[in-house]
Amino acid sequence: MADDFNHQLNHKLTLRVASISLIAILFAIIFRPLIVSLPSYFTWIAILDFLLVLSVYFIIRSNRLPQWEVAILLSSGIITITPLLLISGGVNSQFTHILPLYPIIAALLGGKWESLCVGIILVFGIIVFSFFGHQVADLTGDIYIEEKSYTRGFWLTITLITSTLFGRFFLKRYNKLTEQLKEENIHDPLTHLFNRRGFNFHFNRNLNQSLLTNSPLSLVLIDIDFFKKVNDKYGHDVGDVCLIEVADTLASNIRKSDILARFGGEEFILVLPETKLNEAANIAEKLRSVIFQRTYSDFNLPLTITLGVANYSEQNTSQLKIIKTADKALYRGKEKGRNRVELA
Ligand SMILES: Nc1nc2c(ncn2[C@@H]2O[C@H](COP(=O)(O)OP(=O)(O)OP(=O)(O)O)[C@@H](O)[C@H]2O)c(=O)[nH]1
């Protein structure tokens, strides 16, 4: 899930940066003549740059080269800026102001290695340009003295190194934040079990695996009995503590490969991969028993659960069907007096 999510996010970001670059170049082509008068070949270079970024945009949009799209975008960024620097004073050019953004964008879209590569390429370019800066006229026709080009080159190098380091720092924070958001997105804040979203993803993945390998898979729906009475008598906060303790008890009595989630208010759902219906019934019975054997919250409240068990079979091949079958079994369990396991 994380990989898929990361790819989607990166793809969207890369496409966004490509489209922003396109708009920026288009603006430069249209409005630049109104602001400054430059040689006509500047427009031709800008048009070529626009066509290059346009093709990069469509390559990224097609999603045909997912592993290469960041590298393609970053290379096109360097390729588009180089002729502009060459005709506008090299290291003394106004365009050098954009350069410190490159390692940060590279860190955001790619990662620390991409940022480092871009940083090294740019620093190398700046060193080379520094030696020629005084020989090239800038956009206003100024020729720079050697010393000024070296000073500019020196400070640009420092800025680029700083922005590369900043990119790495920024990336760490960004990764931490996205990781946190992803975790929050798929977990229930009260019990810290998977929420429905997290459950759906993992259930689907396990179900597909079972369909492919024809291996067994069972599902248990778990509902706390008469939970409303706990809330009504002791308050919602005590109810919350009970929910947390029930969740912890369930979680500590299952295998690592099993998927336990909070399905709704006082309802939990458990997926048991590689488990036949009769084995799932035994596990459900064990869970019923451990929940029954202890007490909950500071009030030492006794709680029981009712469990409905179903499995993946020829009739039950979809996620929805298996859950519905388990739900019917659970309902039967409630009707028969609760604190019991019912099989589909
Ligand atoms: N404290 C607390 N209570 C919750 C939460 N989510 C749902 N509930 C409560 O769970 C109770 C569920 O009540 P019912 O659906 O009537 O079920 P029950 O009382 O457990 O009865 P049976 O399921 O028929 O045995 C309601 O009182 C809800 O308010 C929660 O996050 N915290």
**Across residues 292-299, what is the average pLDDT?**
96
Q: How confident is the model at residue 110 (pLDDT cuts 50, 70, 90)?
A: confident
Residue ranges and CATH numbers for the domains of the chain are 2-186 (no CATH), 196-343 (3.30.70.270)
Cα separation, 150 vs 30, whole angstroms: 34
Please say if the pLDDT value at position 136 is more than 80. no
Instruction: Please tell me if the CB atom of residue 69 comes closer than 6 angstroms to any atom of ligand 1.
Output: no
260 and 206 in contact (C-beta within 8 Å)?
Answer: no
Per residue in 162-208, pLDDT (tens digit) is 999 998 888 888 888 888 888 888 999 999 999 999 999 899 989 98
pLDDT of 291 > 70? The answer is: yes
The string of pLDDT tens digits covering residues 21-48 is: 999 889 888 887 777 677 777 888 889 9
For ligand 1, say whether the CB of 265 is within 6 Å of any of its atoms. Answer: yes
Condensed to tens digits (0 to 9), the pLDDT of residues 209-244 reads: 888 888 999 999 999 999 999 999 999 999 999 999
Task: Please tell me the distance between residue 157's alpha carbon and the centre of ligand 1 in angstroms.
Answer: 63
Q: Which of 43, 177, 156, 178 is nearest to 91 (CA)?
A: 156
Please report which helix (H) or strand (E) contains residue 184, including its range.
helix 146-186
Interface predicted TM-score (ipTM) of this complex, two decimals? 0.95
What is the reported pLDDT for 93? 84
Query: Does the Cβ of 304 fall within 6 Å of ligand 1?
Result: no
Q: Return the ∠ at Cα 341 (arms to 186 and 259), rounded to 5°.
A: 20
pLDDT over 70 percentage in the chain: 96
* DSSP letter (8 states) at residue 93: S
- What's the gap in Å between 228 CA and the centre of ligand 1? 5
User: From the CA of 121, how far away is ligand 1's center (Å)?
Assistant: 61
How close is the Cα of 227 to the center of ligand 1, in Å?
5
* pLDDT given for residue 4 in this prediction: 62
Please work out whether the CB of residue 239 comes within 6 Å of at least one atom of ligand 1. Answer: yes
Return the active site residues: 266
| Local confidence band at 2 (pLDDT 50, 70, 90 cut-offs) | low
Binding site membership of 89 for ligand 1 (Cβ less than 6 Å) = no
Higher pLDDT, residue 254 or 173: 254
Pocket test for ligand 1, best of 221, 223, 228 (most atoms within 8 A of CB): 228
Flag the least confident range among 50-54, 212-216, 236-240, 275-279: 212-216
